[in-house]
Amino acid sequence: MNSMTDLPAQTNATLMARRQAALPRGVSQAHGVFAERAENAEIWDVEGRRWIDFCAGIAVVNTGHCHPRVMAAAKAQMEKFTHTCFQVVAYESYVELAERLNALAPGATPKKTFFMNSGAEAVENAVKVARAYTGRSGVIAFNAAFHGRTMFTLALTGKVDPYKKGFGPFPAEVYHTPFPDPLHGISVDDAMHGLELVFKNDIEAARVAAIIVEPVQGEGGYLPAPTEFMQRLRALCDQHGIVLIVDEIQTGVARCGKFFAIEHSGIEPDVITMAKGLGGGMTLSAIVGKAEIMDAAVPGGLGSTYAGHPVAVAAALAVLDVVEEEKLSERAAALGEKCRARLEALKPRFACIADVRGLGAMTAVEFSHGGDPKKPAADIAKALAAEAAQRGLLLLNCGSYGNVLRLMLPLTIPDNVLDEGLEILEASLAAAVGG
């Protein structure tokens, strides 16, 4: 063999063996599939097999794999330059993207935006800004929340296994309280009482810099935050001078039926974190917030070598165009209604379905033995995902007990591909539990 073209064709199995030998086991993989190419809501692996993608790179390719507008924008930028470091030599596209996000952010208060690389970086920088603005140190997050895998965002994350297991101790002055969960008996009043208990038992409100919340908990089980809860949380933060950080990393960029999921609640956050769908598959995150708060950090206190990478920024500008022109917020709402209606219709047939819920295109079904929420059925969720994969559909689970199936469709998915995927899902559930 004299060249790479002489190498034998790789299979998923041979690549998985190479992966296991070369990578640490902590880098997990939900499906034993290696992609060769992808388009919109479909992936073709190295063996030529087609897969329907209900994962979207964990809610990243909202505009679908390789959207022509996004690809063209990235390619055009690559022909100009790929890196200058914005803090050294700037470029107009970064400023334009910030201007557009400032205009899209809810509320009349003037906004400012800066960019980072990942969702975890966005969260860490949002906390930095909140601490600089308030002169306080405490941060409150919620049980079952997910905010990232860096050491500080792990402290904020409210799930131990697998994210926090073996990595402690974590940064101090981070506190967790209950998140509303009607299925499991946690009301809005309960959640608000939990916050008051933190102020009574752990840290006085006057030392809390920020409260961070997901409008829909992602890893926590696709739990939408009730409007009443978000409004009361806004009032509580206003009462105590606490910065309200809304984590839109998984919910933003039209996924929940509006550009920002928080728009459903009618409140104005102080700071919003974004990532995932923003770059259309390129690595980019954003911190969008009230101008007065965002200006609290001193010059040089914010930034990163690769932050706001010009290729990713170009892609993101195209993503915003696609969201507007293809009406992806409206599309997300319609997709969610269709998926939830289909799953609700399965409840009489499958007693293991304890709940169907979601917001916009974020849809989840929670499985419990006998439909009893106190008996989470991770085994059923796992068996369903495995069976669906055998049939060519890629799914992911979530939830504190791993018993929640979440649908993360590309918002551009063709109707016929969606219908095919839902048919596979239903057949896979029947095969997994019998029925």
* Cα→Cα distances 375→77, 87, 312, 386, 387, Å: 52, 52, 44, 21, 22
**Residue 6 is assigned to a structural domain of this protein:** no
**Residue 4 is assigned to a structural domain of this protein:** no
CATH number, residue 187:
3.40.640.10
Q: What are the backbone angles phi and psi of residue 397, rounded to the nearest 5°? A: -105, 170
Q: Which of 302, 325, 348 is the last residue of a domain?
A: 325
Rounded CA-CA distance 200/336 in Å is 40
Rounded CA-CA distance 207/199 in Å is 9
The pLDDT of residue 7: 63
Residue 56 β-bridge partners:
none
The answer on 291 and 211 residing in a single domain is yes
The answer on 281 and 155 residing in a single domain is yes
The answer on 303 and 333 residing in a single domain is no
**Residue 1 is assigned to a structural domain of this protein:** no
Residue 246 β-bridge partners:
213, 272
Residue type, 303: G
| 399 Rama class: left (phi>0) / alpha (psi -120 to 50) / beta | left
Structure tokens at 289: 């917030």
Write down the H helix ranges in 168-295.
188-201, 227-240, 291-294
Q: Is 39 helix (H, G, I), strand (E, B) or coil?
A: strand
The pLDDT of residue 127: 98
The answer on 236 and 270 residing in a single domain is yes
The answer on 182 and 240 residing in a single domain is yes
Mean pLDDT by 10 residues, the chain (435 residues): 61 95 94 96 97 98 98 98 98 98 98 98 98 98 97 95 92 97 97 98 98 97 98 98 98 98 98 98 98 97 97 98 98 98 96 97 97 95 97 96 97 98 97 87
The pLDDT of residue 180: 98
**Residue 362 is assigned to a structural domain of this protein:** yes
Q: Which of 325, 350, 368 is the last residue of a domain?
A: 325
The pLDDT of residue 6: 61
CATH number, residue 18:
3.90.1150.10
Q: Specify burial of residue 406 (Cβ count, 10 A radius: 0-12, 13-18, 19+).
A: buried
Bridge-based pairing state of the strands 208-213 and 243-247: parallel
**Residue 407 is assigned to a structural domain of this protein:** yes
Of 157, 94, 114, nearest to 315 by C-alpha is 94
The answer on 145 and 39 residing in a single domain is no
The pLDDT of residue 154: 96
The answer on 309 and 222 residing in a single domain is yes
Half-sphere exposure of 218 (CA within 13 A, CB side): 24
Residue 319 β-bridge partners:
none
**Residue 385 is assigned to a structural domain of this protein:** yes
Q: Range of 417's domain?
A: 11-66+327-433
The answer on 85 and 164 residing in a single domain is yes
Q: List the beta strands (DSSP E) in 306-352.
A: none
Number of H helices, E strands in the chain: 13, 17
The answer on 215 and 81 residing in a single domain is yes
**Residue 213 is assigned to a structural domain of this protein:** yes
- Strand order from edge to edge, sheet including 353-359: 353-359, 362-367, 404-407, 396-398
**Residue 96 is assigned to a structural domain of this protein:** yes
Domain count, the chain: 2
The answer on 309 and 389 residing in a single domain is no
The answer on 172 and 144 residing in a single domain is yes
Q: Which of 291, 325, 359 is the last residue of a domain?
A: 325
**H or E element that contains 383:** helix 378-390
The answer on 120 and 171 residing in a single domain is yes
Rounded CA-CA distance 120/154 in Å is 9
